[in-house]
Structure 1
């Protein structure tokens, strides 16, 4: 790799740390275009609750993979992998730099790393989901234990149990055999934004408050009329499930806001754990006048010397 072939840039880390703003700044500084890797920002109309960058906040930088799904559609890591890598190639063809921005850990790795993704079969999945509803997760876990004991011991989420059994039926291979390797498919520099936990907690509480003031309840009401409850992925987005309780008369706005703050803090801890486990991430403090300069120097140094990746 030479200076004329800079790496893909990925801005990662917990929610609420300013990844969107840094991604735009780096794209402006380096001559890049942003590719979204926040799985909830794929959805049209989910703007306030996902902190999706407004047209003004994008500052003329092209953004890709925003607003590509209806709330009733299910997000797919495999579809995202293909779309993101297509975006990277197209951006490169224009002589520009792809800047991947987001905190959805598996989606980031699907875009950047060597990762084989098994296919899906709606009929097989529906049958297994029917078994889950009829017999409960214990029966599914026991069946998985017979063919994939490692996944059976590791997976707690019911949705992933179903997926592991679907993968076994379709491929005859254990779910764990498809886990990603820490190997980039092309030169990449990952920049993580770090913040003290107490400061992040305060920031997230203020952020949720600002979303409520900006009209999160009205946004959720509009999306409910478009099928938000039926969306397997979109309905689980932070804030949206909580404010559906308001729409349905089971919670007050204050209760939904408090529940959203708790859920968001918990999610941010999981994100930090995920990205901290990757030794390739270069961590920078989330604020300060030198942030953009430090991040740009990381990219430039990585382009000059691939051994720093």
Structure 2
């Protein structure tokens, strides 16, 4: 059984232990940690505690991590919108509402299930739950994703993401009327210490994040923009636009309570460009806005 150990610093002093522990590993959910605590797998200074235990400075925390559950991810026939495919890479247009990869308790209906049925050869670098997945977009974000069909391609594409040579442009509708035509948001993003399921702009345990945006069209109470990612942090565009006061329309997590009821944020990953891992040729693809996004734009135009 693998063991995890840590010492509490002033950053997490007086916080509940079931809130603190997920911040050490983004794969750990709060409910999972609470189960470990109930099973007596978590000790503080050698003693079993409850989930509401408030951490103290210099507490020594140990977790006897249970053996990972063997998950059986099965191929599922799907009508995937494939934009490009060869023996190394595949580019697919993910619809809104589809989860990219399986997770415990959610093993079916994901893009990975469909990819496994479509092609038998996917890179194994990210393991059984995320074969071939180089980068992700949120469930309610539509648009283009690159998929690696072998480990050689996977490593090349990840290197390009790290070196910021991948072109990723998104279309979005945000609350408010942005007065300037373009801008750059350079603000570090980390997990929100008050809500471990959310990200926020913070200097604590954060990573650099840069988003460039330009205005495409202005409406009475909204703005249609294009964003280009320089980095790829979790929920980056959603967090950055909220940070500057223009949250995404329809965003249930980062938007205002009174927002457009469109089943999730108005965000589409429309342009994806990268160098082919083997030929080194630069390839760029563009996916048009989905119908519901276009319908929303037309409603905003008519309301002006």
Bin the TM-score by the shorter chain. Answer: under 0.3
Q: Which of the pair is proportionally richer in helix?
A: 1
TM-score, reference length from structure 1: 0.22
Higher relative contact order (CA 8 A, sep 6+): 1
Higher strand share: 2
TM-score by length of 2: 0.22
